[in-house]
Amino acid sequence: MNLKKYTIALGSIFVLLTGAVIYGIACGGWEDPYDDRITFFNNHLAGDPDYKPFYYIAYQSLYDFSESHDGNVQNVAEWKKYLNVESIADSMVLKAIYKNNEASFDFIKSQKTTEWPDSLGKNEFAVELAKKKNAGALAYLHFAKQCEPYISGPYNEWEPVQHNVNAMIQLITEGKQLVSKIKQDKFLKLRFGFQICRLAHYSGDYEGCLSYFDAYVAPNKSESTVYYWALALKAGALRKVGRIAESAYLFSRVFSECNNNRIIAYQNVGYLAIFNQYDHTQALPLCKNNTEKADLLAVEALGNSGHALKDLMEVYAYDAKAKCLDVLLIREISKLEESYLSPKMAMADSRDSLRLTSAGYIESKSLQNEGKYADSVFRFCELAASEKKVAEPALWKVSAAYLKFMKRDLKSARAVLSQAEGMKMSAKVKDQFEVLRLLITINEQDKMDAAFEAKIYPSLLWLESKKQAELAYKGNSWETDLPFAKINKYLMLSILSPKYEKQNDKVKSALCIMQSEMVSSKEIKNAEGDHSFNWTIGASINYLRNQLTAAEIEKLIQLNSKANKNDYEKLMTQTMSTLNGNFMNELQGTAYLREHQFAKAIVAFKKLPTNYFEQEPYKTYLAANSFVDLIIDTHAPTARDTKKFTKLTFAQTMLAFEKKAKEDSKNAAFCYYQMANGFYNMSYYGNSWLLVSYYWSTTDGEYSADDLPYLKDYFDNYAAEQYYMKAQKLTTDQNLKAKCSFMAAKCLSSRVKYPAVVYTEENWQEKNDQAATKYYEMLINNKYFIDLKKNYSTTSFYAKAVNECSYLRDFVSRR
């Protein structure tokens, strides 16, 4: 077996049965492991819940680290049937068997029920055990509790568990004596055998474990879950004594037959592959039939994170109805969504929501290879569907149609899907059929118009209902394994939204992005209360704040408040309707502020509560004087911050200066200068950037796109420069003229960009040093510095500026 294929990382492998799972923990942000790719395919179509831990996932060794079934619950059911007490609640039996200690069972054996504490006396199963007819069962449970401390000692990730081998040997002897007294009771004999095997295994007596299995377990074989627990112990012992093929074979049988012990069986097969150079061909001769061969290969194939079509075909050849076959098919589709569909769609979407292109992930040759692989999987799907040997041919036919959809061959996708229409389908496959039909229909449409929206509305409503059912089920948990919510997310985010964007309809695009969110209305309302919109509906908030003009936000608000919405509009405004008026009013006011429409900004901001801007982040990041003229820019408090401005008072002040400049020519220069300061301070470099932006970072200018007009002013300060020049032209005050030239120089400097140097270039350090020198020269050779020195060198401000500004000082020293 090619070890490169196996996805189980060494750091998270079991030490075979006796060890513990080791998880690697690293610092860093949290990535949602269940939302790792664009998907339109329900990966729960097959094997749910039995094989859910083995669905494909990119960032974990398992899709789910919990067994799909609880072995203790299954053991409880066996005990209830054995003692003929099936009317007793499972919870009572669980408590009696698993929560009581050895002393409790001593009490049950030796004391009258009238002397029991309430914890035992009120437990119907404990009372049943005390009956004389159940003395054998009580003796076994007492023995099992004696064994327990030697098997499940406290786990320390730094030190192996230290076992008391002598005590374990004594218990083995005691167990053998107890089981010898049992005549015909296979139920108890099997369980004693399991305890004896487990003691031998954990004490390091692997040959003894094998011997005890043959003596005490094998003769009492049944479909009991305990039998397969013992079989797993035997498989582990076989590995320890070097019988690798037999070990792998038995683990494959445990995996196939014991639905509460699959993870440990799977992980141990991976362990054998990595540390013992195991390959499934070594164990195939041990299989009794083709079904067992298919099961053996499937366990290994589930660990293949690469192309596994060959494994899929081999399993199919052995047994087309193998339990894992459908799961293996869906794993291949999930892999292709990750390696082909997601990067393909990211390349087509200019917003690149998955950031694949910017991360340098996509290579054309790789995409070509993945496309060819998708064609190979498609051909096999068609073969399996046509031969009708698989458990559900319709699943394979629908999968084939989806693979054609991935390749953007819509005509073929529809043709293949139409062939599936008359086939017998499970409810889940029927749902996937409907999803795919909707996808094809939308992608065939060139223009989104009212008629087409009405046509797809019933399907979108159905998908929304599926999403809401999942959200209701998850409640307040962080669970994100929500297949229909993810399908809806990427339908809205990666198909419908780009279509509206292409039509320059950002209002409908915004609605799509809001409808893509995988959260309930209740969660959005809670987010409003604790100011966590960015975490809860981050994609929507980012789009609303950074992609829409004030006019588009106005249209969005009007559409949401429209009295006679059609059905499509009602559906698409569901998420927006949960955003309260405060959020939208602040958003609208900020958009107007960005566009210098101060009067309209004031109207919007006045709709907010009077204390709205007294809370964070405004309290901290709008704590400066927004009209101060600083020689050295800073976001820290200064002695000149004697007055503070909110978004509302800033807009009111800017409007007042604007009106006064027009009405009072005498003070026009002063007003324009103050407005210029306001424009500068609401820029990226100013002390009040929060007036128009919602976040600030040292790399913003490097990555931000000029999608909105305000960004030209935010990063490059054109408006501020223009108003400084207007003020300079109107004033006769030489000191103010000097200030205007200096502040205009700062505006011009904000447009000087550091020369790009590719980090991988040869002689990078030397070229970067040259770039730094060039950047510095551009900064000091500022045309406004020339004006300042030539015309205003005798002013008091000039002397102050030269003293404080090193760029101006260096410029002056060179002249």
Which 3 state secondary structure label does DSSP give 156? strand
Q: Is the per-residue pLDDT at 193 higher than 50?
A: yes
Cβ–Cβ contacts within 10 Å for residue 505, how many? 17
pLDDT band at residue 6 under the 50/70/90 scheme:
very low
CA dihedral for 133, 135, 138, 144, sign (positive or negative): negative
Q: Does some domain include residue 650?
A: no
pLDDT band at residue 267 under the 50/70/90 scheme:
very high
pLDDT tens, 326-340?
A: 999 999 999 999 999
pLDDT tens, 764-811?
A: 999 999 999 999 999 999 999 999 999 999 999 999 999 999 999 999
- The residues with which 159 forms a beta bridge, in sequence order, are 156
Based on the fold, state whether residues 407 and 512 are members of the same structural domain: no
Average pLDDT over residues 1-27: 34
Based on the fold, state whether residues 384 and 526 are members of the same structural domain: no
The pLDDT, as a whole number, for residue 529 is 65
CA angle at residue 449 from 447 to 451, to 5 degrees? 120
The DSSP annotation for 574-602 comes to: HHHHHS-HHHHHHHHHHHHHHTT-HHHHH
The pLDDT, as a whole number, for residue 362 is 62
Determine the distance from the C-alpha atom of residue 104 to the mean position of all C-alpha atoms in its chain, rounded to a whole number: 46
pLDDT tens, 490-500?
A: 999 999 999 99
CA dihedral for 83, 84, 90, 92, sign (positive or negative): negative
The pLDDT, as a whole number, for residue 31 is 63
The pLDDT, as a whole number, for residue 163 is 85
Give CA–CA dist 204/201, Å, rounded: 5
Q: Domain boundary at 444, 464, 497, which?
A: 444
Q: Is the per-residue pLDDT at 574 higher than 60?
A: yes
Q: Does some domain include residue 56?
A: yes
DSSP H or E run through 161 = none
The pLDDT, as a whole number, for residue 685 is 96
Q: Is the per-residue pLDDT at 289 higher than 60?
A: yes
Based on the fold, state whether residues 10 and 63 are members of the same structural domain: yes
Based on the fold, state whether residues 486 and 534 are members of the same structural domain: yes
Average predicted confidence (pLDDT) for the chain: 90
| CA-based radius of gyration for the chain | 36
Inter-residue contact 554 to 653 (CB < 8 Å)? no
Based on the fold, state whether residues 382 and 525 are members of the same structural domain: no
The H helix count followed by the E strand count for the chain is: 44, 0
pLDDT tens, 398-454?
A: 999 999 999 999 999 999 999 999 999 999 999 999 999 999 999 999 999 999 999
Q: Which of 24-33, 130-139, 631-640 has the lowest mean pLDDT?
A: 24-33
Q: Does some domain include residue 610?
A: no
Q: Is the per-residue pLDDT at 634 higher than 50?
A: yes
Q: Does some domain include residue 252?
A: no
Q: Does some domain include residue 163?
A: no
Q: Domain boundary at 577, 607, 641, which?
A: 577
Based on the fold, state whether residues 358 and 499 are members of the same structural domain: no
pLDDT tens, 686-732?
A: 999 999 999 999 888 765 545 678 898 999 999 999 999 999 999 99
Would you state the structure tokens that stand for residue 52, as one six-digit string? Answer: 């859910």
Average pLDDT over residues 741-755: 95
How much is the pTM? Answer: 0.88
Based on the fold, state whether residues 490 and 430 are members of the same structural domain: no
Q: Which domain holds residue 55?
A: 1-69+278-444
pLDDT band at residue 630 under the 50/70/90 scheme:
very high
DSSP H or E run through 295 = helix 290-301
Q: Does some domain include residue 261?
A: no
Q: Does some domain include residue 10?
A: yes
- The residues with which 6 forms a beta bridge, in sequence order, are 304
Average pLDDT over residues 563-568: 96
Q: Is the per-residue pLDDT at 562 higher than 80?
A: yes
Residue where the block lists tokens 């038995």: 250
Determine phi and psi for 131, rounding to 5 degrees: -70, 145
Give CA–CA dist 294/320, Å, rounded: 9
- The residues with which 304 forms a beta bridge, in sequence order, are 6
Q: Is the per-residue pLDDT at 548 higher than 70?
A: yes
Q: Is the per-residue pLDDT at 465 higher than 80?
A: yes
Q: Is the per-residue pLDDT at 357 higher than 60?
A: no
All residues at 6 or more sequence positions from 765 whose CB lies less than 8 Å from its CB, including other chains: none
Packed helices 364-387 and 309-318: angle between N→C axes, nearest 10 degrees: 10
The pLDDT, as a whole number, for residue 707 is 64
Based on the fold, state whether residues 510 and 417 are members of the same structural domain: no
pLDDT tens, 198-251?
A: 999 999 999 999 999 999 999 999 999 999 999 999 999 999 999 999 999 999
Q: Which of 21-25, 147-151, 506-510 has the lowest mean pLDDT?
A: 21-25
Based on the fold, state whether residues 435 and 493 are members of the same structural domain: no
Give CA–CA dist 773/481, Å, rounded: 52
Give CA–CA dist 527/537, Å, rounded: 9
Based on the fold, state whether residues 325 and 378 are members of the same structural domain: yes
The pLDDT, as a whole number, for residue 474 is 83
Would you state the structure tokens that stand for residue 259, as one six-digit string? Answer: 């639905």
Cβ–Cβ contacts within 10 Å for residue 449, how many? 11
pLDDT band at residue 364 under the 50/70/90 scheme:
confident
Average pLDDT over residues 526-537: 72
The pLDDT, as a whole number, for residue 63 is 94
pLDDT tens, 39-62?
A: 999 999 998 899 999 999 988 889
Q: Does some domain include residue 757?
A: yes
Would you state the structure tokens that stand for residue 463, as one six-digit string? Answer: 């998908």
The pLDDT, as a whole number, for residue 489 is 96
Q: Is the per-residue pLDDT at 593 higher than 80?
A: yes
**CA 619 vs CA 581, 614, 682, 688: distances in Å:** 21, 5, 16, 12
More confident residue, 40 or 535: 40
pLDDT tens, 137-150?
A: 999 999 999 999 99
Rounded to 10 degrees, what is the CA torsion of 641, 644, 647, 649? -130
Ramachandran region, residue 360 (left: φ > 0; alpha: ψ -120 to 50; beta: rest)? left
Based on the fold, state whether residues 327 and 440 are members of the same structural domain: yes
Based on the fold, state whether residues 396 and 541 are members of the same structural domain: no
What is the tally of structural domains in the chain?
A: 3
